[in-house]
């Protein structure tokens, strides 16, 4: 299991291959890569996103989310990589990969990690457009996505 | 204790971190926010939204969470990562 917070680009294909290496009992790997869209929430062309983060808490919170996913599904391994700093349209922002004997657990765990991460990992996006900069507002849809994982 | 501010909370307060000792009687996150708001217009502006989130020693904390023994308390807007 691994969690990384970094400014550098990552190669999702290589990360996925590395995660699977040595797990001869794996039957499924699911990966999700979140990309920087070409437009701001206003619709204006986006020059870049700047992601601010609380690095120490981000690592701990991502580790807690990963641990919760492993408690809920039979995962052989998992990886979460989240970037911060300046990110251009088309670049990857976040990678979640889950490895399991069967696909259902891998799919569900990857979706769970993303839904949790969106509302609880301490990252904040600021959009840069020709008009200047603006902080991205949190979206109610992200809170709704989290609700379906509620156990109690 | 150390106070940390992120994103637009940081911009409004005008600093990323500071060390502060809350006065006697301030025992929860909610009370700490009320005290911070009394420290000046920049704090009043930063904390006027009730959407502000907090973390105590790097764990999310609700307004009624006790701050006794906290080393690091962070304030920030709702998160927008991913």
d(CA A80, CA A84): 13
Residue B8 has a pLDDT of: 97
pLDDT tens-digit map of A74-115: 999 999 999 999 999 999 999 999 999 999 999 999 999 999
Closest-CA residue to A35 (of A10, A64, A18): A10
Ordered by where they begin, the domains of chain B are 2-76 (3.10.20.30)
Instruction: Indicate whether A152 belongs to any domain.
Output: no
pLDDT tens-digit map of A11-41: 999 999 999 998 999 999 999 999 999 999 9
| Angle formed by the axes of helices A140-147 and A103-120, nearest 10° | 140
Q: How many domains does chain A contain in total?
A: 1
Distance to chain A for B69, nearest Cα, Å: 18
A5 touches chain B (CB under 8 A): no
Cβ-based burial of A121 (10 A; exposed 0-12, middle 13-18, buried ≥19):
buried
Quote the domain boundaries for residue A93: 2-147
pLDDT, mean over chain A: 95
d(CA B4, CA B57): 11
Instruction: Indicate whether A132 belongs to any domain.
Output: yes
Q: Which residue of A has its CA nearest to B76?
A: A122
Q: For A124, which of B51, B60, B76 is closest by C-beta distance?
A: B76
pLDDT tens-digit map of B15-63: 999 999 999 999 999 999 999 999 999 999 999 998 999 999 999 999 9
The torsion defined by the Cα of B81, B68, B20 and A119, in degrees rounded to 10, comes to 10
CATH of the domain at A65: 3.90.1170.40
Q: For B60, which of A94, A120, A137 is closest by C-beta distance?
A: A120
Q: Which residues of A touch B80 (CB under 8 A)?
A: 118, 123-125, 135-139
Residue A152 pLDDT > 60: no
Residue A77 CB coordination number (10 Å): 19
- How high is the ipTM of this complex? 0.96
Q: Which residues of A touch B7 (CB under 8 A)?
A: 52, 124, 126, 135
Residue B13 CB coordination number (10 Å): 21
Q: For A34, which of B6, B59, B82 is closest by C-beta distance?
A: B82
């Amino acid at each position: 299991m691994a969690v990384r917070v970094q400014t550098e680009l990552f190669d999702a294909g290589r990360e996925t291959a590395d995660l699977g290496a040595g797990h001869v009992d794996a039957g499924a790997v699911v990966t999700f890569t979140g990309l920087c869209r070409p437009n701001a929430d206003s619709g204006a062309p986006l020059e870049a996103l700047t992601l601010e983060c609380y690095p120490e808490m981000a690592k701990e919170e991502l580790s807690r989310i990963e641990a919760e996913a492993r408690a809920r599904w039979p995962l052989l391994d998992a990886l979460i990589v989240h970037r911060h700093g300046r990110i251009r349209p088309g670049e990857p922002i976040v990678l979640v990969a889950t490895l399991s004997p069967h696909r259902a657990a891998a799919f569900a765990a990857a979706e769970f990690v993303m839904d949790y991460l969106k509302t609880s990992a301490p990252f904040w996006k600021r959009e840069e457009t020709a008009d200047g900069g603006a902080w991205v507002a949190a979206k109610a849809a992200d809170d709704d996505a989290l609700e379906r994982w509620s156990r109690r | 204790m150390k106070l940390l501010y992120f994103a637009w909370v940081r911009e409004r307060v005008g600093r990323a971190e500071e060390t502060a000792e809350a006065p006697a009687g301030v025992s929860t996150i909610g009370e700490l926010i009320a005290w911070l708001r009394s420290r000046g217009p920049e704090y009043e502006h930063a904390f006027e939204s009730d959407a502000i989130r907090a973390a105590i020693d790097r764990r999310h904390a609700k307004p009624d969470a006790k701050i006794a023994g906290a080393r690091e308390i962070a304030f920030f807007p709702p998160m927008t990562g991913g």
